[in-house]
Amino acid sequence: MMTESNKAQLDVIIVGAGFAGLYLLHKFRGMGLSARAFETADDVGGTWYWNRYPGARCDIESIDYSFSFDPELEQEWEWSEKYATQPEILRYAQHVADRFDLRRDIRFETRVEQAVWDEEQSCWHVTTDKGDTVTGRFFIMATGCLSQPKDIDIAGIEDFTGEIYRTHSWPHEGVDFTGKTVGVIGTGSSGIQSIPLIAEQADHTTVFQRTANYSIPAGNGPIAPEKEAVKKRYQDYREEARWTKVGVPGKEAMDFALTVSDEERQQRYEELWDKGAIPHLGSEFADILISEEANETLAEFVRNKIRSVIEDSNVADILTPTEFPICTKRACLDTNYYQTFNKDNVDIVDIKANPITSITASGIATQDQDFTFDAIVFATGFDAMTGALLAIDIRGRAGQSLKDKWADGPLNYLGLTVSGFPNFFMITGPGSPSVLSNMVLSIEQHVEWIADCLAYMGKEELTVFDPTETAETGWVEYGTATSDMTLFPQAKSWYMGANVPGKPRVCLPYVGGVAAYRRVCNDVAAQNYLGFRFDGPGGARCNDGLVRRQQPDVVALLEILDEMELPPFESMSPEEARATSVAMNAGNPPGPEVGEVVDGTYPGADGSLDYRLYRPESAGPHPVTLYFHGGGWVLGDHTSDDAFCRDLCNNTGSIVISANYRHAPEAPFPAAADDGFAALQWVAGNIETLGGIERELAVCGWSAGANIAAVVCQLARDAGGPAVRGQVLITPVVDASDDSPSMTDNAEGFVLTKALMEWFWDHYADPAHRTDPKASPLLADDLSGLPPALIITGEFDPLRDQGKAYAEALSKAGTEVRQTTYPGQIHTSFTAVGAIPTADGARQEIAAALKQYFKVMEAA
């Protein structure tokens, strides 16, 4: 029961006095809000207060790992090294606390045990281990992502008679290992940083490793002059950082490891290695974290570097990581880590092959051996991102505990808020970039977003906010879709919660990057706090919905295109548009290898035209898929959908022939349709010579190419052949008169726009010709007797509804048809192999349909 004597009414209650807690206090004081922070330690610093183990350093450069909110603070503080040590970072945090007089609002050596939402009073009651209860309108957890140690799950630890140390709570006075035998369990970041220094002192050091990690030499030393010069333009530099993936200015990856030459790729990896920087989020190449083949190029480069340092090949095998893609666990930065294992007094034990069975009175027992130690160091890591949040009994509406709500994973909105827990914020929580970013920058972004939200509520006379379940579910699904299109889920990492037994296996951080996340948060605020329900004297209000409706890779593509600020295609001449299209295609990921690629010519309706043939690796003959490229009858050629054709070849086991056709405006309607039919006749007449099987022929096309594919099926039916076993129409153009909701709703912003579609039609066909079935196959009088069809459309495609309408018309005419609209996809998604992995399911459906058409033929 609360009493008046121990009840204190505050605007904001904060848990934690690390970097986040300090900035929150400073920010709210400037807004005139009363705020108090509670801190378990006896001083500020958070993670950097507790983690004092030998070699503890930040892996973000000092110039970047610092506050930007005060220009004078930026200039007055001088960092001594490229990567600051724990003592220096702690001194910086203490300096910030002193400079802004923040300690007077912090209650040290006080642990918060419970926080309960009071629905009637619209406030939080927060209880500490001192027996005090304080109340506040808002409750903010600023406890950090790596502050709750993982439980040590090795039997017998209480039996050990020697010294026990844990890297997460190292003695403040330090430890002298001189003359001692030391066992170190764990080779994560804290192990990799501390082992070289422990081994320098100890008489003998034995390292127990479960999983080898990738580590790169930090190349630490004085701050480079060019980096120090950043301070002359610090604020501009900070703004650049806010719009990068990691929160550190630098070259953003726009090309792909598999598109550059082996020599260039090797050179760039060497430069990365020499620079001493984490290849964080695959920043060296855009495909490092989405392509296993690309990832392996970097992984093997680092493995070779590791092997070149370690003298004993058996030790090298143990220390060389092979079990997970590089960067799916945070790669470490080290100083002489691998070289340490060349010392005679350092051993490594592979506890996958020789598991630890127990801690004994004298040391460590493994399956095969007993070890005697004077001291054991546990570098076993943290219950990351959710551990500290769930260590406090937080209860929201109707008494629901956060622990129960998160039983299957951390449901949240933006990594900031949780539905059913009003007026509650998390700083850099699960669902935000947090540990995959420059944490200080991400902390600042969260604090400033929260401050803006509270200012909005004050202006609008609102007292309570709560994210909606719709917004929360949508954000979690978006975050999951983002991680699922990467290699992150392949690693048993703390990013995935895999290091803690029983913890739900979900990707905890948002892996889309700092800039993309900032845009999301800005968009939420700009739309009157989309996804939040508010109440108060100013009235109840809610603008519910999803902040991101497209798939994450589609969003990323659209953002890249937006940043390029290209003029719209419809503002260009055909020649300019073609040059732009070619330049854009040159940066696309390469498709997979196929058995053979052959270029040739075929007789078009009015002269020779080019084709490209893709042959599977398997022995022929094969079925044949005739493919027509997209581009609105104006752009593209037989090579412009190269990656998709390669993918199609491999997935179907068929020969794929991409046939060019004449383009408008030089060759207007019906040139493209006539060339398409000529291509069908030529392929059918030469199918065995081409390596195909007689009559095993299907057609496929995308966009305008799908228009051609649909038209040639009608022409073949009317001409009595050639026989076509099936047709796959990907986002087809089938009706020039289309003015459906999809054409209106998706008119702008999704690559293919309504204006661009009109530009294509204006170049291809005069209005008088557009109702001809050779231009608009949906308008044909008879749609019966056509080959079975699969029609693929995207939710945000202007052509979505006409694709659906064609499917309905085919079905009504008795033609077998299946139509699928893929949620979150746009017109260009389906042929973008390697760039839009969330469309892989559509590509698999396309391949399955073609294979089924060929199977039906075989049965017949």
Q: What is the mean pLDDT of residues 699-709?
A: 98
Which residues fall within 8 angstroms of residue 1, CB to CB, at 6 or more apart? none
Which residues, listed in sequence order, are joined to residue 349 by a DSSP beta bridge?
Answer: 208
pLDDT at 283: 64
> Among candidates 741, 289, 179, which has minimal Cα distance to 512?
289
Classified as helix, coil or strand, 804 is helix
List, for residues 736-768, the tens digit of each pLDDT value.
999 999 999 999 999 999 999 999 999 999 999
For residues 549 and 750, give the distance between their C-alpha atoms in angstroms, rounded to a whole number: 12
Question: How do the residues of the chain divide into helix, strand and coil, expressed in percent and rounded to 5?
Answer: 40, 20, 45
pLDDT band at 282 (very low <50, low <70, confident <90, very high): low
For residues 56 and 59, give the distance between their C-alpha atoms in angstroms, rounded to a whole number: 10
Which residues fall within 8 angstroms of residue 59, CB to CB, at 6 or more apart? 83, 189, 218, 278, 330, 332, 333
Query: 1 with 421: CB under 8 angstroms?
Result: no
Strand (E) or helix (H) holding 348: strand 346-350
Does residue 252 register a pLDDT over 80? no
Q: Could you tell me the sign of the dihedral formed by the alpha carbons of 247, 249, 253, 254, in that order? A: positive
For 466, phi and psi rounded to 5 degrees? -155, 125
Burial 196-215 (b: 16+ CB within 10 A, else e): bbbbeebebbbbbbbbbbbb
For 450, phi and psi rounded to 5 degrees? -60, -45
Q: Could you tell me the sign of the dihedral formed by the alpha carbons of 44, 48, 54, 58, in that order? A: negative
pLDDT at 566: 87
Report in angstroms the alpha-carbon separations of 24 from 316, 418, 456, 697. Answer: 46, 19, 17, 66
List, for residues 349-379, the tens digit of each pLDDT value.
999 999 999 999 999 999 999 999 999 999 9
List, for residues 612-643, the tens digit of each pLDDT value.
999 999 998 999 999 999 999 999 999 999 99
Classified as helix, coil or strand, 695 is strand
Report in angstroms the alpha-carbon separations of 389 from 118, 294, 351, 418, 828. Answer: 19, 36, 31, 12, 41
| E-state strands within 197-248 | 204-209, 215-217
| E-state strands within 142-268 | 163-166, 181-185, 204-209, 215-217
pLDDT at 855: 79
pLDDT band at 284 (very low <50, low <70, confident <90, very high): confident
> Among candidates 55, 154, 91, 124, which has minimal Cα distance to 378?
154
List, for residues 152-203, the tens digit of each pLDDT value.
889 999 999 999 999 999 999 999 999 999 999 999 999 999 999 999 999 9
* Gyration radius of the chain's alpha carbons: 31
> Among candidates 810, 831, 699, 656, which has minimal Cα distance to 752?
831
pLDDT at 278: 78
Residue recorded with tokens 């659209």: 558
For residues 556 and 837, give the distance between their C-alpha atoms in angstroms, rounded to a whole number: 12
Does residue 279 register a pLDDT over 60? yes
Q: What is the mean pLDDT of residues 785-802?
A: 98
pLDDT at 423: 98
Cis before 504 (ω within 30):
no
Q: What is the chain's length?
A: 860
Q: What is the dihedral of CA 194, 199, 201, 205, to 10 degrees?
A: 120
pLDDT at 8: 52
Tokens of 411: 């449901």
Average pLDDT, the chain: 95
List, for residues 446-471, the tens digit of each pLDDT value.
999 999 999 999 999 999 999 999 99
pLDDT at 437: 95
- For the stretch 150-157, contacts whose Cβ atoms lie closer than 8 Å and that sit 24 or more positions apart, written own/partner, are 150/380, 150/381, 150/382, 150/383, 150/387, 150/499, 150/500, 151/383, 151/500, 152/378, 152/380, 153/501, 154/185, 154/356, 154/358, 154/359, 155/357, 155/358, 155/359, 156/358, 156/359, 156/360, 156/365, 157/359
Does residue 696 register a pLDDT over 80? yes
For residues 614 and 639, give the distance between their C-alpha atoms in angstroms, rounded to a whole number: 11
Does residue 281 register a pLDDT over 80? no
- State the CB neighbour count (10 A cutoff) for residue 821: 18
List, for residues 563-573, the tens digit of each pLDDT value.
888 899 999 99
Q: What is the mean pLDDT of residues 136-148?
A: 95
Strand (E) or helix (H) holding 273: helix 262-275
List, for residues 513-525, the tens digit of each pLDDT value.
999 999 999 999 9
For residues 45 and 55, give the distance between their C-alpha atoms in angstroms, rounded to a whole number: 17
Query: 113 with 107: CB under 8 angstroms?
Result: no
Tokens of 619: 């022995």
Residue recorded with tokens 């579609």: 757
pLDDT band at 859 (very low <50, low <70, confident <90, very high): very low
Burial 466-478 (b: 16+ CB within 10 A, else e): bbbeebbebbbeb
Classified as helix, coil or strand, 38 is strand
pLDDT at 3: 39
Report in angstroms the alpha-carbon separations of 428 from 219, 239, 557. Answer: 29, 19, 25
Which residues, listed in sequence order, are joined to residue 527 by a DSSP beta bridge?
Answer: none
Does residue 725 register a pLDDT over 60? yes
> Among candidates 644, 626, 544, which has minimal Cα distance to 585?
644
Query: 48 with 95: CB under 8 angstroms?
Result: no
